């Protein structure tokens, strides 16, 4: 059964995946901290993405660029003036709203105001009496631009000469380094550059737990190809992204491609698709995939004065490559993984267990070591724990009865439990219990690491 957002939030807090940010000071709205299991899960998600898109992908290479970029970057891309949302305030309770979101929520997503001008949005809200969701009033300020980039100052003086922005996407650090990477990696077009890192957006309406926050991580790839071939690559990366999500353990019937209609595409894009996922509130954007033509390289070439064209060594032709960009949020994928893998399973005899049926690659802990009776077997169990630590993410649990400890391991998605009992002390064998089937086998200790290594692959 589908979990509600509140259930997911409570689960994530209870088991140490995600906590409210700055909790002891009463929290800081819409910030979240990742606990021991949360950071392990995040790292595994990033590792899987990095392997699929970069380290094990012959087409691509990786980069780690700065969060702070020369402010001219954002003038060139249009972010300085165009990265904005339509903001309106409720005059009665002073709450702030995104005008297009008010319309979308009030019409249950049936009216999409994206692309409307501000007076059109304002008139629609007043005509249809869309009330302030906080106080129920209908007295708004006119709609105005709200730039979502976080501004700060570089250096010691807080003057406008030193204004600088926290990047709102990781993509631009890739474009700025296109020539560097191409030259030093000696990659030939077509090739891609992947990057994982923090991005910041001063969202007007963050929310839905970790779905929309002001600080988040992105896994982005810019794939550079010859103009004219971009739509073939677009289809290729769309399918590649979908296959990746299935590998990450999402259910195919909870995923859909949403192709942006031609008339709603950004002026520089000739195709854009979102992969949308069935979140607790319905289908919403998980992954944006856009064919961005040569817009970004062209703008940076123009504004920096640096030649960013690629000289094709085979044809001697010079051109600005076209770009396909699959851009995914780490936290959104993490939330989707919890949504699709957390279940309350009915067992024989009317019992139930909380089970995180997460893929083995993403499981925060791969194996847990359990001495059956702490008093007699903990010394041996600690030995086994150390033996496994060499190869896996392992935990050690000796508190509570064995049934409870199995349940705890199931609830956080640990694929294997290794139990040390009296027989282990006599013949050096252990019990290995598998999470989903709960089947148990007996194995010699000497074979344990190799067995788990194969089972986890």
Q: Does position 397 bind ligand GAP by CB under 6 A?
A: no
Cis, peptide link before residue 190, omega less than 30° from 0: yes
Q: Does position 220 bind ligand GAP by CB under 6 A?
A: yes
* Displacement of CA 77 from its chain's centroid (Å): 24
The number of beta carbons lying within 10 Å of the beta carbon of residue 170 is: 24
Q: How many residues bind ligand GAP (CB under 6 A)?
A: 19
**Inter-CA distances, 298 with 27, 79, 178, 304, 321, Å:** 43, 15, 12, 10, 9
Nearest distance from C-beta of residue 214 to ligand GAP, angstroms: 7
3-state secondary structure of 427: helix
Q: Does position 329 bind ligand GAP by CB under 6 A?
A: yes
- Let me know: does 390 contact 383? Beta carbons within 8 Å: no
Q: Does position 299 bind ligand GAP by CB under 6 A?
A: no
Whichever of 172 and 395 has its CB closer to ligand GAP, that residue is 172
Q: Does position 415 bind ligand GAP by CB under 6 A?
A: no
Contact stretch for ligand GAP (CB under 6 A) within 215-223, 232-240, 400-408, 414-422: 215-223
Say how many residues make up the chain.
457
Nearest distance from C-beta of residue 270 to ligand GAP, angstroms: 16
Q: Does position 204 bind ligand GAP by CB under 6 A?
A: no
| Binding test (CB under 6 A) with ligand GAP, winner from 71, 92, 203, 392 | 203
| Binding test (CB under 6 A) with ligand GAP, winner from 98, 212, 299, 380 | 212
Whichever of 40 and 196 has its CB closer to ligand GAP, that residue is 196
Q: Does position 213 bind ligand GAP by CB under 6 A?
A: yes
Cα torsion angle, 279, 34, 67, 204, sign: positive
Nearest distance from C-beta of residue 328 to ligand GAP, angstroms: 5
Rounded (5°) CA angle 195-331-220: 20
**Inter-CA distances, 101 with 105, 348, 353, Å:** 6, 46, 38
**Inter-CA distances, 266 with 261, 269, 293, Å:** 10, 5, 11
Closest by CA position to 54, among listed 187, 199, 180? 187
| Binding test (CB under 6 A) with ligand GAP, winner from 86, 288, 371, 413 | 288
Nearest distance from C-beta of residue 175 to ligand GAP, angstroms: 10
Contact stretch for ligand GAP (CB under 6 A) within 16-24, 95-103, 297-305, 328-336: 328-336
What is the binding site for ligand GAP (CB under 6 A)?
A: 169, 171, 201, 203, 212-213, 216, 218, 220, 285-288, 325, 327-329, 331-332
């Amino acid at each position: 059964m589908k979990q509600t957002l509140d259930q997911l939030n409570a689960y994530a807090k209870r088991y140490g995946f995600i906590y409210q940010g700055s909790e002891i000071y009463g929290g800081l709205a819409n910030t979240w901290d990742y606990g021991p299991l949360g950071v392990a899960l995040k790292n595994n998600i990033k590792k899987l993405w990095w392997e699929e898109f970069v380290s094990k992908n012959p087409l691509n290479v990786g980069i780690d660029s700065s969060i702070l970029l020369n402010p001219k970057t954002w003038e060139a891309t249009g972010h300085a003036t165009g990265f904005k949302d339509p903001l309106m305030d409720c005059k009665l309770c002073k709450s702030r709203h995104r005008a297009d979101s008010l319309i979308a929520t009030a019409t249950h997503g049936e009216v999409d105001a994206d692309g409307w001008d501000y007076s059109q949005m304002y008139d629609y809200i007043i005509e249809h009496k869309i009330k302030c969701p906080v106080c129920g009033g209908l007295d708004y300020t006119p709609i105005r631009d709200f730039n979502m980039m976080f501004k700060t100052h570089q250096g010691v003086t807080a003057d406008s000469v030193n204004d600088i922005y926290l990047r709102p996407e990781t993509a631009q650090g890739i474009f700025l380094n296109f020539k560097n990477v191409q030259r030093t990696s000696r990659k030939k077009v077509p090739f891609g550059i992947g990057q994982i890192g923090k991005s910041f957006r001063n969202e007007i309406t963050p929310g839905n737990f970790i779905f929309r926050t002001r600080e988040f991580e992105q896994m982005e790839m810019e794939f550079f190809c010859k103009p004219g071939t971009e739509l073939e690559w677009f289809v290729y990366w769309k399918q590649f992204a979908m296959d990746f999500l299935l590998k990450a353990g999402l259910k195919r019937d909870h995923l859909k491609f949403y192709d942006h209609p031609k008339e709603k595409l950004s002026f520089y894009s000739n195709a854009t698709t979102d992969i949308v996922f069935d979140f607790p509130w319905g289908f919403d954007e998980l992954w944006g995939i856009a064919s961005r033509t040569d817009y970004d390289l062209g703008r940076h070439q123009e504004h920096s004065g640096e030649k960013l064209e690629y000289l094709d060594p085979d044809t001697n032709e010079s051109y600005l490559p076209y770009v396909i960009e699959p851009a995914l949020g780490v936290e959104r994928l993490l939330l989707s993984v919890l949504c699709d893998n957390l279940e309350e399973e009915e067992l024989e005899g009317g019992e139930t267990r909380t089970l995180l049926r997460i893929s083995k690659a993403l499981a925060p802990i791969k194996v847990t070591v359990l001495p059956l009776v702490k008093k007699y077997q903990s010394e041996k169990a600690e030995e086994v724990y150390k033996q496994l630590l060499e190869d896996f993410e392992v935990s050690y649990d000796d508190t509570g009865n064995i049934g409870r400890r199995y349940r705890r391991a199931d609830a956080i998605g640990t694929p294997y439990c290794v139990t040390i009992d009296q027989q282990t002390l006599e013949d050096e064998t252990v019990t290995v219990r598998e999470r989903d089937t709960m089947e148990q086998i007996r194995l010699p200790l000497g074979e344990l690491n190799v067995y788990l290594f194969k089972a986890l692959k």
